[in-house]
Amino acid sequence: MKWLDTAAPGFEADFAALLDEARETTASVGGVVAGIIADIRARGDAALVDFTARFDGWQPGALRVTAGELAEAEASIDPGLLAALDVAAARIEAFHRAQMPADIRLDDPAGLTLGMRWGALDAVGLYVPGGKAAYPSSVLMNAIPARVAGVARVCMCVPTPGGLLNPLVLAAAKRAGVTEVFRVGGAQAVAAMAWGTENIAPVDRIVGPGNAFVAEAKRQVFGRVGIDSIAGPSEVVVLADRDNDPAHVAMDLLAQAEHDEAAQSILITDDAGFGRAVAAAVEDALRTLPRTAIASASWAAHGAVVLVRDWDEGVALTNRLAPEHLQIMTAAPEALFARIRHAGAAFLGRWCPEALGDYVAGPNHVLPTGRSARFASGLSVFDFLKRTTWVAAEERGLRAIGPAAVALAEAEGLGAHARSIATRLTP
């Protein structure tokens, strides 16, 4: 774990090193992924079966999960857990329904009618991780916005190590409106959804997190299909003053660290004693965590406590970090949040841990990583919608604005453009 102090002479160099930490690993797997994609394009389902045998350790007889298997999985789950899934699904749906935009129709003074129409994508591919952990919450967060947006076909691919499917993942898929589920994972699943195979029809956009191979595959198929983002390791920045319980903050940091050895957890505080107390609480908690090996590796390699002289410095450093997740645990969190320009999602107050947003708060937990919150946003219904603008003009409108268009077309040397308008203006 790193300790940085803005008052220290070498702070700027140390903070720059923290910003530039290489936690992404996609570049090293580019060649392997390109080979996988090429094989899927050439051999289709046969290649999918071979890769499943190689990477997941079993040979599937059928790639698609049947409706009977989905029902059987749901029946095997404790009713209390299904109720929790329903709470999450309802809250996520309500928040995303509130995002749905309205069409635009504008009658302008020149006599033209201008508009913008929103429409859903035809088909979306959802990738759900299934390696180090299974994430039914990820199914809800990716599939529900697609259904709310009006996507007719939602295809889900999930890896099945040893041939085992997580029942809660399947139950989440059923509740979220997923129309097809396939037991394939990795870069090969991304390639299959992008290019299509005998059993998996191609989609228009692929969303959902995954490992370095999945992220690199999404990068390589972009253009053939749309993607949500190139997701990297998870990260959190916590702004906390000394009036917090160090044990609470420690668990907030470890909630990100336990995702992956490359995850990053950073505490920014204005009190040195509190920062040391949190670091000690992290060490105590690591002794009892179920995923202590992963969390310990993450905290040791990428964890940091940053001591600032005031919250002006804290805000400035947070904007430079542009974190995926931001927790503000100060006396006036909304006042500080008003000054934050770059964060994927923010959680305000001492009673609002980021983990709440991972499951049941309502806003999406698929967020920009690796400082990309500077220019990107979290998943929403807008990822499953596209805009079509339209113009309607009668003769009066064309005569009002056409001459300006003719002049600009002629200035650009595009004679056919100019004439297509000018011929209509000639008596």
Residue-wise pLDDT tens digits, 246-290: 999 999 999 999 998 999 999 999 999 999 999 999 999 999 999
- For the beta sheet containing 113-120, the strands, ordered from the edge strand earlier in sequence to the opposite edge, are 104-107, 113-120, 385-392
Instruction: Over range 155-182, report the average pLDDT.
Output: 94
Residue-wise pLDDT tens digits, 86-99: 999 999 999 999 99
Distances from the Cα of 225 to the Cαs of 206, 207, 211, 386, in angstroms? 7, 10, 19, 14
pLDDT band of residue 28 (cuts 50, 70, 90) is confident
pLDDT band of residue 21 (cuts 50, 70, 90) is confident
Residue-wise pLDDT tens digits, 102-151: 999 999 999 999 999 999 999 999 999 875 567 899 999 999 999 999 99
pLDDT at residue 427 tops 90: no
pLDDT at 288: 94
Residue-wise pLDDT tens digits, 3-14: 999 999 999 999
The span from the first CA to the last CA of the chain, in angstroms, equals 79
- Asked if 298 contacts 264 with a C-beta cutoff of 8 angstroms, the reply is yes
- The segment(s) of the chain belonging to CATH 3.40.50.1980 are 29-227, 232-375
Instruction: Over range 378-395, report the average pLDDT.
Output: 97
Residue 119, token pair as written in the block:
């429409």
Q: What percent of the chain has pLDDT over 70?
A: 98
Specify the DSSP class assigned to residue 29: G
Residue-wise pLDDT tens digits, 282-340: 999 999 999 999 999 999 999 999 999 999 999 999 999 999 999 999 999 999 999 99
pLDDT at 226: 97
- Asked if 120 contacts 385 with a C-beta cutoff of 8 angstroms, the reply is yes
What CATH number should be reported for the domain whose range is 232-375? Answer: 3.40.50.1980
What CATH number should be reported for the domain whose range is 29-227? Answer: 3.40.50.1980
Classify residue 352 as exposed, middle or buried by CB count within 10 Å of its CB (0-12, 13-18, 19+). middle
Classify residue 415 as exposed, middle or buried by CB count within 10 Å of its CB (0-12, 13-18, 19+). exposed
pLDDT at 25: 59
Residue among 261, 249, 248, 254 nearest 288 (CA): 254
Instruction: Over range 198-208, report the average pLDDT.
Output: 97
pLDDT band of residue 54 (cuts 50, 70, 90) is very high
Bridge-partner residues for 388, per DSSP? Answer: 117
pLDDT band of residue 174 (cuts 50, 70, 90) is very high
Helix-, strand-, coil-residue percentages of the chain, each rounded to 5? 50, 15, 35
**Phi and psi dihedrals of 29, rounded to 5?**
-110, 10
Instruction: Over range 203-228, report the average pLDDT.
Output: 94
Instruction: Over range 178-198, report the average pLDDT.
Output: 97
Residue type, 397: G
pLDDT at 26: 57
- CA distance linking residue 129 with residue 138, whole number of Å: 8
Confirm whether 365 is a catalytic residue: no
How do strand 345-348 and strand 264-269 relate by DSSP bridges?
unpaired
69 CB-side CA count, 13 A: 16
Angle between helices 136-149 and 79-97 (to 10 degrees): 40
How do strand 113-120 and strand 104-107 relate by DSSP bridges?
antiparallel
Residue among 282, 274, 336 nearest 306 (CA): 274
Residue among 325, 265, 292 nearest 2 (CA): 265
Q: What's the mean pLDDT when you consider all of the chain?
A: 95
pLDDT at 230: 87
Helix (DSSP H) and strand (DSSP E) numbers for the chain: 17, 14
Classify residue 124 as exposed, middle or buried by CB count within 10 Å of its CB (0-12, 13-18, 19+). buried
pLDDT at 133: 62
pLDDT at 61: 86
Confirm whether 324 is a catalytic residue: yes
- For the beta sheet containing 180-182, the strands, ordered from the edge strand earlier in sequence to the opposite edge, are 180-182, 153-157, 123-127, 205-207, 226-227
Q: Give the active site residue among 180, 261, 324, 354.
A: 324
Q: Give the active site residue among 96, 259, 302, 325.
A: 325
Asked which of 162-166, 288-292, 347-351 is least confident by mean pLDDT, the reply is 162-166
Residue among 148, 162, 52, 36 nearest 101 (CA): 148
pTM of the model as a whole: 0.93
286 CB-side CA count, 13 A: 19
